[in-house]
Amino acid sequence: APFVETEWGGEIYSIMCALKEVIDPNNLLNPGVIINKDKSAHIQHLKDLPQVEEEVDKCMECGFCEHRCPSRDITMTPRQRIVVRRELIKLKSTGKQAVHNELLNQYKYDGMDTCAVDGLCAEACPVDINTGMLIKRLRKENHNAFSNRIAVLIAKNFAVVAWSVKNGIRIGNGVNKLLGRNTMRRITGGLKSVIPSMPLWSNQLKATNTVQRPAIVQTESRSVVYYPTCISRAMGGNIGSTTTVLDSFMRVAAKSGVTCILPNNIAGSCCGQPFSSKGFNEAYAIMANKTISLLWEWTKEGTIPIVVDITACTHTLQTCAPVLTAENSKRFKAMKIIDSIEFISDFL
């Protein structure tokens, strides 16, 4: 406001003031905005931005990130997650412990549990803040020793877990087929009322079929190792359709003259995102190192490119270097991991 007259000139500014006086003589509409006689208005009533966490301290609360956030219509946006963290600091410093504890308790679901940690907020942020990195750290700090041990156990026995998920979906579909389409939804809904963390069944769930592996020809420039993610390996396509992501990928590649090598011992591997996104760093490191070792074997020591069929999983593999052992770090640098979209663009 203090610079409006300088920008437009005194004559035009006086016309603005006259119009304001005619339209809003009591100065009820946006008082002090545009028309303001206080020459120091720009340094009055400044927003308090206390330091909270290194990952987000640069945030100026502009809100550019908000339209990119998957949870914006459910709980919070990245800006709101940061604002609440700042408010928690203020409440604690002013001794309002009861309000602080209540807000912190609400933040566990609204701020932490519903964050997709996909980094889309960083794409729109003027200062490159990835709020997901903060949420990952907060999740890690909230885990106890028991939950970390469970995560490590799952990582070390991932083949059993993946098999259980896949066959659990098959059994659920069988129950629905036998007792009615919404039976599983009612059962899981009842369990969820007792156990809030219980997942709710979706009638869109379907297990994937066994993929027929084509005969592998001699490795050449038009060969790739196809790494279907654990989601693609466990879940099928649309209800009523027999085509899965795996089927479609193999068929498109074959028509384009690209040899897709589908590994046999893939069941116990994963990019590690389920562990990384939840802050289970030890389990993530175990899974990432296991998968990189397998990819090294499947690609004949990095001589064949790897194609991953889900972008989030591609990104997780491409950025796993910090948790790799020295040996796997060398292997990682020698391998080429590409996303299915990039594969379609460059290979097909």
Residues 227 and 335 in one domain: yes
159 falls within a domain: yes
For residues 77, 82, 88 and 93, what is the CA-based torsion angle, rounded to 10 degrees?
A: -160
Does residue 116 fall inside a structural domain? Answer: yes
Nearest Cα to 19, choosing from 9, 7, 34, 6?
34
Residues 246 and 303 in one domain: yes
Confidence of residue 221 (pLDDT cuts 50, 70, 90): low
| Number of structural domains found in the chain | 4
C-alpha span between 274 and 272 (Å, rounded): 6
Q: Specify the DSSP class assigned to residue 68.
A: G
The reply to whether 253 and 322 lie within a common domain is: yes
Which of 24-28, 57-61, 145-149, 237-241 shows the lowest per-residue confidence on average (mean pLDDT)?
A: 237-241
Tokens of 157: 């026995």
Q: Domain containing 314: what range?
A: 223-346
Residue 268 tokens, joined: 């116990």
**Shared-domain flag, residues 241 and 164:** no
E strand or H helix at 306 = strand 306-308
For residue 57, being part of any structural domain is answered with no
Could you tell me the pLDDT band of residue 218, with boundaries at 50, 70 and 90? very low
Same domain, 186 and 291: no
Distance CA 303, CA 334 (A): 8
Q: Are residues 125 and 181 in the same domain?
A: no
What stretch of H or E contains 254?
A: helix 245-255
Distance CA(199)–CA(189), nearest Å, equals: 8
- What value does the mean pLDDT take over residues 155-161? 94
- Give domain status of residue 132, yes or no: yes
Q: State the pLDDT confidence band at 215, using cuts at 50, 70 and 90.
A: very low
d(CA 246, CA 36): 64
DSSP one-letter string for 138-149: HHHHH--HHHHH
104 lies in the same domain as 30:
no
Query: What does the pLDDT average to over 119-143?
Result: 94
Average pLDDT across the chain, whole number: 90
**CATH number, domain with residue 283:** 3.40.50
pLDDT band at residue 211, thresholds of 50, 70 and 90? low
pTM score, two decimals? Answer: 0.79
CB atoms within 10 A of CB 41: 14
Give percent of the chain with pLDDT exceeding 70.
Answer: 96
